[in-house]
Amino acid sequence: MRPLLIPFYVLFIMTEGLTESRKPRRSVSFPDMNLKQFKESELGSFSSLMVRDDIGQLVLGARGKILALSLEDITKKISEEKWSVSLADKALCQMKGKGAEECHNFIRVLHTMEDSKMLACGTNAFNPACDTVTFRNGKVFLERKPQDGRGKVPFDPYQSFASLMDGNTLYSATSSNFLGTEVVFQRHGLNPVKTEMTRSWLNEPTMISINMAEVSRSAENGEDDVVFLFFTENAVEERRGNIWVSRVARVCKSDLGGKMTLQKRWTSFLKARLDCPFGDAGSPSLVQDVFLLQDPNNVQDSIFYATFTSNPEPSSLCSQSAVCAYKLSDISHVFRGKFLTESDTGSWDTYTGEEHSPYPGSCIDDEMRAKGVMTSLNLSDTTLLFVKKHPLMEAVVTPITGKPLLVQTMTRFSKIVVDQVTSLDGQRHRIFFIGTDSGWLQKAVKFDGEDAHVIEELQIFQDPLPVDFLQFSSKTGQLYSCARNAAVQVDVRDCSRYTSCHDCLLARDPYCGWDLITPRCASVAGASAGSMIQNLSDGDNRMCPASDLGKRATIIHLTIGVAQFLPCSPETNLPVRWRLFDSVLHPGPQHTLLSQGLVIRPSPSDAGLYTCETLETVEGRAYGAMVTQYLVEVRDPDRVATNLKIALITVAVFTGVLANFMCRHLGAKMLDRCFRCNRNGSNSHVMPSGHHEAVNGCGEEDRHHAGGTPPPQEQ
């Protein structure tokens, strides 16, 4: 094998003095992904996605149509229903200044209702409309009874919004006018309520997510369920303008608005700043998505997992992303704290005036009912006026442990989904699936006492498209996503990429363990501890069975003073180290260490066995895994030339000796030729046959034969 020659300028570019960042342990590119993909060349952009575990379908909203795919295999389309705009509506939309592409019907809302029907809402050429979707014989149909969709779905097909369906009641946070400037958070249905159109309530907001916490299930005081809204906005409390912050707002599910003050408006709308400290001090941390994982035993222990970015510009090379977690009880505590109040000068200061009872913005509970406050309609105007003017809390909602679970540079997180899995030891572990704006999905886990680490990152879209939709199916155990004209189905419990027991255990993937019978890395779901091993606490691979399968060293011949490259490409993103026999190599005049190999400028002492191995530290213990080995032999060019001369002389001498041997031992015919061609005449005598015997060696005839010239005629 001849190693690659590396020019000096390439070495200069590739020399890596950068510190190791928290890279995903493994990266899997799209060609290596074992995923299912649904794609139609003539299909417009996907604009919504809904997993229907109850009927085994994945429902997709697209430009001008709704599709139903098999949840088990999304490559199988079950049915589709067209919902396009008329030519007249499209022409009217374009007359109002919108582009031809915008003036379609993008189905952006898909929600399941109590009767298994679905609410679907589309932009409808900037004239939002909703309709009901039914399923007959497994196929999707529109009832063709359109309703006004204003305030339920944006006019603009690309504007951010949020919505939630509770039973048959829709909560939405979106624009309610053609220009998209009036953004409201509202509940639709029999008792509609919404936010006030004032800067103190919402100031140029970007809506992110709506979640409902079923507080009533575990509340001892008969407290109401709570709806949380996550968004970003321009902070009114900042003295400097255009300071964007993340917010969490809270309203009560049973809020009916006020009787006189705040009629058909939220009487329980309170908001607080949401903090996720990372990045530069001057960079805003802006929330991108939120996933609520409810605790079935105590709702107050439920956790919100949120993705953030530090820079809103996608092109920024300095952007960072993070995942922060918030306990519901901590958020509730902030909403029982002090308020900020706006002064005559426009500054926002802590409110120190008269305290109100009941506490402004409180959800109805048993204590309030005992005092005659049965609904928000019974609240006094004094309390409601205070809520109207004081929606902002003083305290900031901080994450659990006060810091992010995960931070990455030069990456923009988008969506997040959290799953729970039971390991072989019976412990419950939470796994985070984080989408990025470049078409990758990161799979991360956090163990007690450690920072979260990314087990692997998966390229789920061939093109660098944002992961805007992400849902998990508890029925199939798979993730579903879509972007533009492609939908994908990803088996996040796939353990086949861990090709050895050592790799399987060190990955510390809660889904996976080493099957001692197969043997292979496989899902722990339904497996017994007797037939499978798993070590999530420290990844100790000494549990693995002994293996005599080693990699054979590659023999390399190097020349002194000539730089050569020895490649090392591990399957993971783990840092590598090189060893010469048992000694660890360090950078020096003879050795340049790169992430993908080693450059040697060999001297005679550099011959030996070189080993490239990945290095992984878990709970303070270092683990090495061999990637490749080279047996290096070093040659001196001067000595090679000398040895070549000696070899040539040796060959010449050996040829003469061989010829002499042939003359003496190869029989009468050869001897006869030797006598006849002997021209020296020394030490010869006549044989009975008339031939001469050449005592001193082969004669002229043999020399002529050797040179290709015929022997002379005998006189």
Q: Does 506 score more than 60 pLDDT? A: yes
- Between 239 and 226, name the one with better pLDDT: 226
Residue 97 inside a domain? The answer is no
Instruction: Say if residue 235 is in the same domain as residue 266.
Output: yes
Instruction: Say if residue 558 is in the same domain as residue 668.
Output: no
652 pLDDT band, cuts 50/70/90, is low
Instruction: Say if residue 614 is in the same domain as residue 666.
Output: no
Domain end, chosen from 361, 396, 413, is at 413
Give me the mean pLDDT over the 304-317 stretch: 78
Residue 59 inside a domain? The answer is no
Give me the mean pLDDT over the 214-222 stretch: 84
Instruction: Say if residue 360 is in the same domain as residue 293.
Output: yes
Per-residue model confidence (pLDDT) at position 664: 52
Per-residue model confidence (pLDDT) at position 365: 92
CATH number at residue 621: 2.60.40.10
Q: Residue 278: which residues within 8 A CB-CB, separation 6 or more?
A: 285, 308, 310, 320, 322, 403, 404, 407
Tally Cβ neighbours within 10 Å of residue 182.
13
d(CA 686, CA 608): 64
Instruction: Say if residue 614 is in the same domain as residue 672.
Output: no
Residue 442 inside a domain? The answer is no
Residue 38 inside a domain? The answer is no
**Structure tokens given for 628:** 């490749």
Residue 321 inside a domain? The answer is yes
Q: Does 498 score more than 60 pLDDT? A: yes
Q: Determine the distance from the C-alpha atom of residue 338 to the mean position of all C-alpha atoms in its chain, rounded to a whole number.
A: 40
- Between 642 and 187, name the one with better pLDDT: 187
Nearest to 447 by CA among 372, 514, 538, 529: 538
Per-residue model confidence (pLDDT) at position 713: 43
| DSSP per position, 424-436 | TTS-EEEEEEEEE
Instruction: Say if residue 625 is in the same domain as residue 656.
Output: no
Residue 36 inside a domain? The answer is no
Instruction: Say if residue 187 is in the same domain as residue 203.
Output: yes
Instruction: Say if residue 556 is in the same domain as residue 701.
Output: no
Instruction: Say if residue 514 is in the same domain as residue 571.
Output: no
42 pLDDT band, cuts 50/70/90, is low
Q: Does 262 score more than 70 pLDDT? A: yes
Question: Helix, strand, or coil here: 68?
Answer: strand
Least confident of 421-425, 542-546, 699-703: 699-703
Per-residue model confidence (pLDDT) at position 92: 96
* Residue 658: domain span: 638-707
Q: Does 43 score more than 80 pLDDT? A: no
Nearest to 112 by CA among 167, 61, 154: 167
Detail the DSSP E strand segments found in 619-667.
Answer: 621-635
Per-residue model confidence (pLDDT) at position 636: 79
User: Is there a contact between 392 and 271 (Cβ–Cβ < 8 Å)?
Assistant: yes
Per-residue model confidence (pLDDT) at position 40: 78
Q: How far is CA 1 from CA 406, 556, 565, 578, in A?
A: 43, 6, 12, 20
Detail the DSSP E strand segments found in 377-502.
Answer: 392-397, 406-409, 413-422, 428-436, 440-445, 453-459, 469-473, 478-483, 486-490
Least confident of 144-148, 185-189, 255-259, 550-554: 550-554
Question: Helix, strand, or coil here: 664?
Answer: helix
d(CA 438, CA 415): 12
Q: Does 189 score more than 80 pLDDT? A: yes
Per-residue model confidence (pLDDT) at position 681: 43
CATH number at residue 388: 2.130.10.10
Instruction: Say if residue 622 is in the same domain as residue 645.
Output: no
Instruction: Report pLDDT digits (tens) over 438-484.
Output: 999 999 999 988 889 999 999 999 999 999 999 999 899 999 999 88
Per-residue model confidence (pLDDT) at position 659: 53
Q: Does 586 score more than 80 pLDDT? A: yes
What does the buried/exposed string (b/e) look like for 236-272 if buried means 16 or more CB atoms within 10 Å of the residue's CB? bbeeeeeeebbbbbbbbbebbbbbebbeebbbbbbbb
Q: Residue 508: which residues within 8 A CB-CB, separation 6 or more?
A: 445, 447, 453, 455, 535, 536, 539, 618
| Mean of all residue pLDDT scores within the chain | 85
d(CA 669, CA 142): 107
Residue 525 inside a domain? The answer is yes
Tally Cβ neighbours within 10 Å of residue 683.
10
Helices 668-676 + 637-665 axis angle, to 10? 100
Q: Does 6 score more than 60 pLDDT? A: no
Domain end, chosen from 413, 434, 460, is at 413
**Percentage with pLDDT > 70 across the chain:** 84
In the chain, count H helices and then E strands.
9, 44
Per-residue model confidence (pLDDT) at position 668: 44
The neighbouring-strand residues paired with 609 are: 631
φ, ψ (nearest 5 deg) of residue 302: -65, 155
Question: How many domains in the chain?
Answer: 4
CATH number at residue 527: 3.30.1680.10
312 pLDDT band, cuts 50/70/90, is low
Instruction: Say if residue 512 is in the same domain as residue 602.
Output: no
Instruction: Say if residue 294 is in the same domain as residue 372.
Output: yes
Residue 453 inside a domain? The answer is no
Domain end, chosen from 635, 670, 688, is at 635
